[in-house]
Structure 1
Amino acid sequence: MHMDPVLPTMVGTIFLVLMVGGLLKFMGQPQIIAYLLAGVLIGPHGLALISDADLVHRLGALGVVLLLFFVGMEVVPEKLRERWRIPVIGTVLQVVFSFLPVAAIGLMYDWSWARIALLTFVICLSSSAVVIRLLQDRNELSTGFGQDMLGVLLVQDLLVVPMLIIIGLFGGQQVDMHSLSLQLIGVVLMGGLLVWIFSGRQMKLPFGEHIRKDHEIQVFTALAICFGLALLTGFLELSTALGAFIAGMLVSAARETQWVHHKLEPFRVVFVALFFLAVGMSVDLDFVIKHWWQVSLVVIAVFVVGTVVNGLILRGLGYQWRESFYGGTVLAQIGEFSFVLAAVGLQAAIITDTGYQLALSVISLSLLLGPIWINLGRASFRPVIDDA
C-alpha cells in the first residue's frame, strides 16, 4: 500500500510539539516556546525533517491572519477611543528614542544613514503574535493595560508602510507610483472603516438569521469575512494581517456573531502553531554558533534597551513604575514584520548577506526568547493589572 511521504513528517512534528509542549507546560512556560523550539529542531538547520520551509512560512502567514482576526473581535472601541494617547504618542517616542542609540553606534562604526534608519525600524516593531497570545493566556487583553499594548501594536503595524517607503528611498529605489496610489487608497478605505467602527454603530450581517442556523455555513462565512478583507488589504499592498484585524472588529460590531469565535478556534490554533514553527525553522544554527558572541550581545541589547526605553515612555505617560517596566518587557522583543524590513534592506543593498543573516538570527531568537523575557518581567515587577 502506498503511503504519502508527508505523513511520517507530519506525525513526527505533531509528537515533537506534544513532547516539547508538555515539558514546557510542566515548567510553567507558554505553548509558543514549544512551537518555536520544535521549529528549530525539525527545520533545515536542525534534524531537517521538513525541507520545504517556504510552504510552512506560507501556512504560518495564514496563522497570523487568523490570530489578528480573533484579536480584532476582542477590541473594545470605547477603550481605544479613550486611550489613544499612549498608543500614538508612545509609539512615536519609541521610534525617536530607539533611533538615538542606533545612531550613536552607527556613527561609531561609520554606518550609512540608510543602515541606521533600517535597524531603527527593525527594532521598533514588537511582535503582535507573541504579545497578543500571552496577554490572551493571562486574561489581560481586555484590561486597560492590554488595550494600550494592543493600541501600540496597531500603530506600529500602520507604520510599516511608511517605513518600507523610506527604506526604498534610502536604497536609491524609485517610489512606484502605482503601488503608492494603491496604498493611499487602502489607507483611506481602512481608515474610513475604523472611523465607522469607532463611531459606535452596530452592523447587521446580511442573512444573519439564516447563517446562525447553519453550522457549516457559519464556518465558511467567518473564513470569508476574515480572508476576504485580508485579501483586499493585500491587493491594496497593505498588510493582510491589518485587513484581518479590521475584519474582526467588523464582526464584533455586527449582531448575532457569537458563533464566529467558536467555529474558527481550531483553525487559529493550528495555523498560529505553524507560524511559530516557521519562525523556529528560519533560525540558522550554524550561523548562530559561528557568530554566537555578536548575536548574543545584540539580543541582550535589544531586550535591555527595549525594556528601558518603553518602560520610561510608559512611565512618562502616566503608568506606575511596575506596570511601566512590565509593559517595557512586553514590547521589547522584535516583531515578525521586521523580517520583511530586513529583506527589503538586503534587496536595496543597505545591508550585506552577513548583516541579513545576523538580523534574521536576532529577530528569530528575540521571538524565541520573548515569552521568557516577558515572564521574567512579570515575575520581577509583579504589576497590578486592573480593568480600568
Structure 2
Amino acid sequence: MNEAVFQSFFLIFTGAAIIASLAIYGRQPLLVAYIALGALIGPYGLGWVQDVHLLSEISEIGIIFLLFLLGLDLQPQSLMTALRKVTVVTLISSALFAAAGYLIAHLFGFNSTECLIIGAAMMFSSTIIGIKLLPTTILHHRHIGNMMIGLLLMQDFLAIFVLLVLLSGEGGQINVMQIGFTLLALPLLILFAWAFVRWVLLKLIAKFDRMGEYIFLLAIGWCMGLSELAEVVGLSREIGAFLAGITLASSPISQHIALTLKPLRDFFLIMFFFSLGAGFNLGLLPEIALASVALGGTMLILKPAIFRFLLGRQSEKKVLAWDIGFRLGQISEFSLLIAYVAFNASLISVQASHLIQAAAILTFLLSSYIVIFNFPNPIAVSERLRRN
C-alpha cells in the first residue's frame, strides 16, 4: 500500500477515535468532531494530511451508500405519497431561501451570476445530517420520517437540476441541449432499473438468499453499477444510488441488506466530514467571514421559521412543523458540490465558492448542535433525547 495513503488513513481514523472520545466526554456532537479534526490536521491546519482531493473523492462513496440505504427503506408507493404532500412546500421554501441568499450576496458586492448561484446553493438542506440525526424508529415508522424524506428528496431533485445546468457550462456558457438530453435520460434510467431488478436481481436473490457474502456483493455491485450508469448518461451518481435502493426496496431481504451496509456507509461518512473540514482554505476566511456569518446565520433562522409556517398551513401540528424545520435548518452537501462545479466552470470566483463552503460548514455545526441538544436523535448527549 502507498505509504502516504496508509498514513492518511491512520491519522484520520485514529485521530477520529481520539477526538470522538473527547467529544463524547465533553457532550459534543461527533459530526462537529470530524470536521474539526479535518481543519486541524488538513493542509490548511497542521498539514499532516495533504492529499485531501483523493480522500474527498473516496469519501463521496459514503454519500452514495447513504442514498442507496435511504432508497432501500422506501417503498415506491410510500415515496409517491410523501412527494405529493411536500411538493408545494418544497418549491415555495426553496424559492424563498434562494431569494434570501441572492439578496445577502448582492449586499456584499458579488456579481449577478455569483448571486444567482449562491442563492441556488441556499435552497437545499443536508440529507446526511437530516437522516443521520433522525432516529431509525422515527425514520421508518412515523409521519415525521415520511415528511422529512419527501422534503429532502424533492430538494435533491432540484439540486440535481441545478447541477445539470452548471455541468453543462463551459467557461460560463450553458449547454441547453445537454440539459434536455439528461432530463430525457432520467425516465429511461428508471425504466431500466425497474426491469433489471424484476427480471434479474430478484431472481438471483431468491435463488441464493442464504449466501450472505454473495448477497452483500450483489447489493454493492448493483448500487455502484447503477450509480456509474447514471453518471454516464449525465445524471449524478447520487441519484443512481437512490434509484438502485428504491428498486430493491420490494425485496424481502432489503432490510438485511441495509443492516449489512450501514457500517460501510459510516466508514466513508467519517471521511466525508473530515475532508469537508480539511478542504477549507483558512487563509480566505478574513475576506468572507462577515458574509458567511450573515449568510449562514440567516439560513439558520429563516429555514425553521419558513418550514414551520408552510407546514403549519398544510395542517401539520405545530410541534411537528418546528421539529422538521430545525432538522432541515442547515445548508446541504449539494451546496458544496454546486460551489465546486460552478468554480470549475468559471462561473463564480474563489471568494464566492468559499463563501458557500463557509456558510455550509457553519450551518452544519450549529444545526447539529441545535438538533442534538433539543430533539430526539441517535447521538444525543442527553439520555432523555437519545433514540436509536
Note whether the superposition's TM-score is higher than 0.5.
yes
Change (3 A) 1:265 1:350: closer
Q: How does 1:182-261 map to 2 (within 5 A)?
A: 182-192=181-191, 205-261=202-258
Greater CA drift, 351-360 or 328-337: 351-360
Which residue of the other structure, out of 328, 347, 351, is the alignment partner of 2:348? 351
Mapped partners of 2:371, 2:183: distance in 1? 36
Query: For this pair of structures, how many residues does the alignment match?
Result: 375
Mapped partners of 2:368, 2:140: distance in 1? 15
Answer yes or no: is 1:84 the counterpart of 2:93.
no
Contact 2:288/2:351 (<8 A) preserved: no
Contact 1:115/1:351 (<8 A) preserved: yes
Contact 1:75/1:147 (<8 A) preserved: no
Greater CA drift, 106-115 or 9-18: 106-115
- CA apart distance, 1:109: 6.3
Mapped partners of 2:2, 2:88: distance in 1? 57
| 1:254-300 deviations in Å (ceiling 9; x for gaps) | 23444312432332121111111111112222323564333322221
Greater CA drift, 369-378 or 202-211: 202-211
Answer yes or no: is 1:308 the counterpart of 2:305.
yes
What does residue 52 of structure 1 align with?
Answer: 51
Contact 2:35/2:277 (<8 A) preserved: yes
- CA apart distance, 1:158: 1.1
Q: Identity over the aligned pairs, expressed in percent?
A: 23
Mapped partners of 1:82, 1:107: distance in 2? 38
Mapped partners of 1:238, 1:259: distance in 2? 28
Mapped partners of 2:98, 2:288: distance in 1? 25
Change (3 A) 1:253 1:43: same
Mapped partners of 2:137, 2:284: distance in 1? 35
Change (3 A) 1:366 1:202: farther
Change (3 A) 1:108 1:287: closer
Q: How does 1:321-332 map to 2 (within 5 A)?
A: 321-332=318-329
Q: How does 1:283-294 map to 2 (within 5 A)?
A: 283-289=280-286, 291-294=288-291
What does residue 382 of structure 1 align with?
Answer: none
**Which residue type is aligned with residue 84 of structure 2?**
R
SS of equivalent residue, structure 2 residue 21 = helix
What does residue 173 of structure 2 align with?
Answer: 173
Greater CA drift, 332-341 or 23-32: 23-32
Contact 1:17/1:38 (<8 A) preserved: yes
What does residue 113 of structure 2 align with?
Answer: 114
SS of equivalent residue, structure 2 residue 90 = helix
Which residue of the other structure, out of 366, 371, 374, is the alignment partner of 1:369? 366
Mapped partners of 2:157, 2:264: distance in 1? 26
**Which residue type is aligned with residue 284 of structure 1?**
N
**Which residue type is aligned with residue 302 of structure 2?**
V
Mapped partners of 1:55, 1:236: distance in 2? 24
**Which residue type is aligned with residue 311 of structure 1?**
R
What does residue 98 of structure 1 align with?
Answer: 97
**Which residue type is aligned with residue 156 of structure 1?**
Q
| 1:33-59 deviations in Å (ceiling 9; x for gaps) | 222222222211122221001111111
Change (3 A) 1:115 1:288: closer
Mapped partners of 1:3, 1:191: distance in 2? 39
**Which residue type is aligned with residue 54 of structure 1?**
H
Contact 1:135/1:141 (<8 A) preserved: no
Which residue of the other structure, out of 270, 274, 277, is the alignment partner of 1:273? 270
What does residue 154 of structure 1 align with?
Answer: 153
Mapped partners of 1:283, 1:160: distance in 2? 22
What does residue 63 of structure 2 align with?
Answer: 64
**Which residue type is aligned with residue 44 of structure 2?**
H
Change (3 A) 1:75 1:136: farther
Contact 2:300/2:330 (<8 A) preserved: yes
- CA apart distance, 1:181: 4.8
Greater CA drift, 355-364 or 338-347: 338-347
What does residue 12 of structure 2 align with?
Answer: 13
SS of equivalent residue, structure 1 residue 47 = coil
Mapped partners of 1:43, 1:352: distance in 2? 23
**Which residue type is aligned with residue 36 of structure 2?**
L
Change (3 A) 1:365 1:284: farther
| 1:175-215 deviations in Å (ceiling 9; x for gaps) | 152x3354123221245479999xxx999612224432323
**Which residue type is aligned with residue 173 of structure 1?**
Q
Structure 2 gap segments, 5+ residues each = 377-384
Contact 2:139/2:145 (<8 A) preserved: yes
Structure 1 gap segments, 5+ residues each = 380-384
Greater CA drift, 319-328 or 291-300: 291-300
